[in-house]
Structure 1
Amino acid sequence: MTAEPSRSAGRMRASDADREAVVEQLREAAADGRIDLDELDTRLGQALMAKTRGELAPLIDDLGPVVLGSGEPLTLQGGIHGAERTGRWKVPPRIRAIGGLGGVRLDFTQTECRLREIEVEVDAQLGSVRIVVPVGWRADTDALNPAFGGLKDKTSGDRLPGTPELRLTGSCGAGGVLIRGR
């Protein structure tokens, strides 16, 4: 039996977050005058139709660092004492929040986030996972298992244009998950 060849990064399927990151970089390039509006329109169309990361990369290669391939997610583990991410920080496309005993707190209110979608994998365990979002952000919790701790979403649920949507997956465990505004 022979080993199956590994996939190259260029053949990996592009996610919505990958496409959106490229679209944002193209818009910034046009705002800076590095590409004109006709070229922006052409590249945006190609970015939105791209199926793989390999199709996206050439669209931004001449504009600076490639923003594709988010790599490993930001992982916060509550452990005994808890963990938090607050203040000014760069929001990655994927986050893992593992509550442990002490819980996890994610505060997005001072972040500058240009992503349209952020995947948040939750494993609340015994500690809670608390998420604080700015006005207009929306959380999609349809794929989140409420388990014993349950889910409380105290946001309006209304998403303002141009703001991110958090897509929560995983389990609320015994500690639960709370999503609230500032």
Structure 2
Amino acid sequence: MIKAARLNWELVLLAAVFLAGMAVGAVYARNADPQALERMDFLFAGNFKARMTASFLSIFVASFASAFLFIFACFLCGLSLWGMLLIPFIPFFRGLGLGLTSGYLYSNYGGYGILFNLVVILPGAFFCCLSVLLAAREGIAFSRLLVSCGSKTISRSKLKIYLLHFGAVLGIAFFAALIDLLFSACFGGLFSF
């Protein structure tokens, strides 16, 4: 019971770190100089056009790969004694990217950009971010376990549980990629930038 409550508090703190990253990204995009906005506009327009002409498999793989990189970073950091100190930066950077995208869409396209963000980007991003937060929580918990064990070895059963938890997290990321594909296919064609 106490362990579950601690894990929930860790998840809440990680979500706060993610939201802080999102706020920093949105504020930066809103107050960026014109040259930075031009670069973001070039990147967004290229990504948007590529997404509209890409196959469904390409869209799915790109979406899953973006989540996988953050999850894999959490996994690797969880295998380190320093992981519990490094892992909070991962959801922060994920939030920074999402906030930068959201802020850019709002500052350049106003309500049209917000609508695109709400309908096409955020449904898949919600589950993607959830998977990253859960991966971060699991990585911190395993890193803390490594620190508490000191020079003793970790049992195979604990390592197996760690791997199973990350398998479940990858399942959520897979679902997020499907949601992203579905919303992009259904609603992406309604927008033009």
TM-score normalised over the length of structure 2? 0.22
Looking at secondary structure, tell me which structure has more strand per residue.
1
Bigger helix share: 2
